[in-house]
Every structure is written in structure tokens, then in C-alpha cells.
Amino acid sequence: MNEHAPRPAAATPVTVIGLGSMGQALAAAFVGGGHPTTVWNRTASKADALVSKGAVLAKSPADAVEAGGLVVVCVLDRASAQEILDPVTDQLAGRSLLMLTSLTPTEANETSAWAAEKNIEFLGGAIMATPDLIGNPEEASLLYAGSSSVFESHKAALELLGTSTYLGDVAARASLLETGLLASMYSMFAGFFHGAALVGTEGVTAKEFTALAVPWLKAMTTFLPGQAEFIDKGDYTTDVQSLEFNKGGLDHIIHISTDQGIGTDVMKPVAELIDRQVEAGHGPESLARLIEGIKNPKG
């Protein structure tokens, strides 16, 4: 061995507080990545499998915090996180705290302000994955916002969990972006369910429908960057597929759905958003103008 070769930096000790299904997956990824890993959970028995893999079970949250260069908290909600952290602020001072408990944007900013007051370096996070996907960068994506120095110093450890994206120093952003992504997902699923119900009226199975829906939806996502351009410019001028054109499309879907005897609960709100913009004189503009109706809901 070349004695002058640079030695690999020792892996940072990591603490994981909260060993529900997600916390266990996070801790297992750190252990697997060679980080000395200390864990704490209210119900200590949930640490058994991790301890057998090399994690150390701390006796108390205070001991757990003192063992970690990076302290990760992944418990039920903000109240339970705060219940654990409030008594250990002295131990947390000067350390890096990564909050992977789901918080609202307001809660994330409040927690960030609380941490700043206590001299704790705070990074908020949002996990776009289920526990079984943690450790798989192709499938698991984690969003971070807050202290850039916590993100940069612990980037290698964070990459063990999944693909990391840093969104800037406003802590609220991670949960805000997470919520935006989830909103997009639910609307897409609801549209797919409507389509499956519609084709099902003539005996087409959901499986047959899916074979067509997947490439169709994939192709449609290629239009999102163009829609984003309209939105960011705030200029919806277009000479293709205006709101008037799309109004015809939505009316058609609602008419056929009713004819086929299925509900229109999913499609009606989209049609109503279009109608409002057309009635306000924006018919020749792009479909992206719907965002204005979402931003300014009717009273």
C-alpha cells in the first residue's frame, strides 16, 4: 500500500431519531454506506434489526444527538419531533439537524427559525419515495432546503438515501415542492381513473387501457416545459390549441362520459376553470392560463 496515498475521509457519524418504517430505511442506508450510525426510537425494540447490522442504540435522545455529526429526525409529525428535540437543544447547538419528518411549509420555516435561535444548523427535507425505495437513486428522490452548509458537508451521506436536490436556503421550499409534485401526481391518477372508468363502459379492461395510457401520458409530459414558459412569462398568447379549442375538448369528454353513464366529478372542475377564463375573455389564449384561475379562486 502506498503510504502517501490520500486516505479516504472517515464517514461522518450519523444519528437517526425515529425508527418507523421510513426511519428504519434511512438508518439502514447509512449503516450500509459505512457511517457509524446511532439510533433512538421511543419504542426501543424497533432498533433490533438495525443493531444486528451494526447500528448503536442510544439510551436517550440526548445521547443520540451527542453521537451524531448529522442528526436526522424522522418521526410522525412536527409535534412529536418538537417533543423530542426541545429538551435536547443544548446538545444540538452547533450540530447539523436534518428534519425528514413531514412538515408543512409554515412549520418548516418555524422550525428553521427555532433552530437558528438555538444555534442549530437546520436543513429541511422531503422524501419523494416509500421506505423500500430508499437507497435506490433511480427511484428515490429527496428534496432539501435550508442550510447549504449542512447540505454540502453531508452530501455524500445524503446520496446514500437517493437522488438529492437542494432548493435554496428557505426551509419551506422542500415541503412546498413536495406538495406541488404530489398535487400533480394525484390529478394525473384521477384523470387516469376517469379514463379507465369511461373505457370500462364498453368492456375495455384497465390493463388494455394502461397499455395506451402510459405512452400517451409520457408523450404529454413533453409539453410541460412549454406550459412552464407561458406561466413564467405571464404571457399566454398562442396560435395553437387555445382555451376555446380546449373548451370544446372538455365539453366533449363531459358529454360522452354522461352518455356512457359515468360521473364527471374529475373532469367538471377542469371544464369550470376553462369556462371561467373563456368567459373573462381569454378564449384565444393558451391552456396554461388556467393557472391564473387556480391562483385567484372565485370568492
Q: Does 41 contact ligand FVH by CB under 6 A?
A: yes
Q: What is the dihedral of CA 251, 252, 258, 261, to 10 degrees?
A: -150
Question: Nearer Cβ to ligand FVH, position 39 or 278?
Answer: 39
Q: Does 86 contact ligand FVH by CB under 6 A?
A: no
Q: Where are the beta strands (DSSP E) in the chain?
A: 14-17, 37-40, 56-57, 70-73, 96-99, 121-128, 141-146, 163-166
- Applying CB under 6 A, among 13, 14, 15, 19 the residue interacting with ligand FVH is 19
CB of 80 to ligand FVH, least distance (A): 3
Instruction: Give the other-Cβ count within 10 Å of 278's Cβ.
Output: 18
Q: Does 83 contact ligand FVH by CB under 6 A?
A: yes
- Applying CB under 6 A, among 28, 57, 84, 270 the residue interacting with ligand FVH is 84
- Whether residue 41 contacts residue 18, with contact meaning beta carbons closer than 8 Å, is answered with yes
Segment lying near ligand FVH (by CB under 6 A), choices 15-23, 115-123, 186-194, 228-236:
15-23
Q: Which residue has its beta carbon closest to ligand FVH?
A: 20
Q: How far apart are CA 216 and CA 235, in angstroms?
A: 27
Q: Does 98 contact ligand FVH by CB under 6 A?
A: no
C-alpha angle with apex 85: 81 to 89, nearest 5 degrees?
155
Question: Nearer Cβ to ligand FVH, position 18 or 195?
Answer: 18
Q: Where are the beta strands (DSSP E) in 158-264?
A: 163-166
Name residues contacting ligand FVH, limited to 100-129 (CB under 6 A).
Answer: 101-102, 127
Question: Nearer Cβ to ligand FVH, position 76 or 256?
Answer: 76
- Applying CB under 6 A, among 49, 76, 113, 212 the residue interacting with ligand FVH is 76
Give the total of residues touching ligand FVH (CB under 6 A).
22
Q: Does 20 contact ligand FVH by CB under 6 A?
A: yes
Name the DSSP class of 88. Answer: G
Q: How far apart are CA 102 and CA 108, in angstroms?
A: 9
Greatest extent of the chain over all pairs of C-alpha atoms, in Å: 80
Write out the three cell numbers for 203.
368492456
For ligand FVH, the binding residues (CB under 6 A) are 18-23, 41-43, 46, 74-77, 80, 83-84, 101-102, 127, 130-131
